[in-house]
Structure 1
Amino acid sequence: MRSRGGLLVATVIAGLGLGFTVTNIGFGDYAELNRMFTFQDLRMLLAFAGAVAILVVVYAILQVRRAPGRIHAGVVPGAILFGVGWAISGGCPAIPIIQVASGYLPALVTIAGVVVGIRLCRWANGKYFHLDRGSCGL
């Protein structure tokens, strides 16, 4: 059994490695993300496609199987909202942290938007939708 300290160190090292990689391929750069979303530069879009292709191969080799299940009621509207927010702000919930660490301080507005969005989702879910607890993210 691993100690909590060892797991924390491994998590920090993995996070730093991911942040370094994501920053170096341009995912932390708002202009790069804008070029991807406006189809001016397909490099990052192809990086996403390559990552998906690698995962498909790994899952096939490991014979990972998942029975198709019912799609949660919030998946489609959540995906649309997530995509629109990413296109407007230049970052999914993790990218603004990388942008701030790289000195791009306007990303603080995106981080605030993520926090407000999660709180609004929890409020609306509690008052109107009554979906499962994990449906509003963090």
Structure 2
Amino acid sequence: MRTRGTILLACVFGGLAFGYVLGNIGFGDYAELNAMFTFQDLRMFLSFAGAVVIVAALFAVLRIRGTKEKIHAGVVPGAILFGAGWAISGGCPSIPIVQVATGYVPALITLVGVVVGMRLSRWANSRFFHVDTGSCGL
């Protein structure tokens, strides 16, 4: 039987290993990300596109289908907050994991911000919005 601690430990080690690999190919470098988003260097953009193709193929093979439910009201504000956090920290929530795995210790501050944001989101949702959050988050 898997305990919550075992799953968390597996996620931490898996995330660090994933981050190490991504860090070695340049995904943890702010300059690389900036070059991708300003279309100065398409290498990373094509890597993302390749990953999407691989995942789409896996979904097709495993016959995983999306739902036809309406998008709930939390998606748009969540996307805005996600983008703002990306702009402030220089990356999406996975990039600090990449940076920590490559030895960039200040990224721990960003990770703390991610965890605090997730906790605040759960608190605000339970107190004000009451939107079903499923099993995601810490």
Q: Same fold (TM over 0.5)?
A: yes
> How much does 1:99 deviate?
0.8
| Map 1:18-29 → 2, pairs under 5 A | 18-29=18-29
Distance in 2 (CA, whole Å) between partners of 1:12 and 1:118 is 16
> How much does 1:10 deviate?
7.7
> Once superposed, which parts of structure 1, at least 4 consecutive aligned residues long, lie more than 6 Å away?
7-13
Mapped contact 2:16–2:101 kept (Cα < 8 A): no
> How much does 1:58 deviate?
2.7
Distance in 2 (CA, whole Å) between partners of 1:3 and 1:80 is 35
Give 1:43's aligned amino acid: R
Using CA pairs below 8 Å that are at least 6 residues apart, which structure has the higher relative contact order?
2
Q: Which structure 1 segments of 5+ residues have no match?
A: none
Match of 1:94 in 2: 94
Match of 2:123 in 1: 123
SS in structure 2 at match of 1:19: helix
Q: Which structure 2 segments of 5+ residues have no match?
A: none
| Map 1:3-22 → 2, pairs under 5 A | 14-15=14-15, 17-22=17-22
Once structures 1 and 2 are overlaid, which stretch shifts more, 58-67 or 97-106? Answer: 58-67
Match of 2:84 in 1: 84
SS in structure 1 at match of 2:131: coil
Distance in 2 (CA, whole Å) between partners of 1:87 and 1:29 is 14
Matched residues, percent identical? 66
Distance in 1 (CA, whole Å) between partners of 2:41 and 2:88 is 17
Tell me the C-alpha RMSD between the 2 structures.
3.2
Aligned length: 136
Once structures 1 and 2 are overlaid, which stretch shifts more, 118-127 or 40-49? Answer: 118-127
Distance in 1 (CA, whole Å) between partners of 2:100 and 2:72 is 33
> How much does 1:36 deviate?
2.1
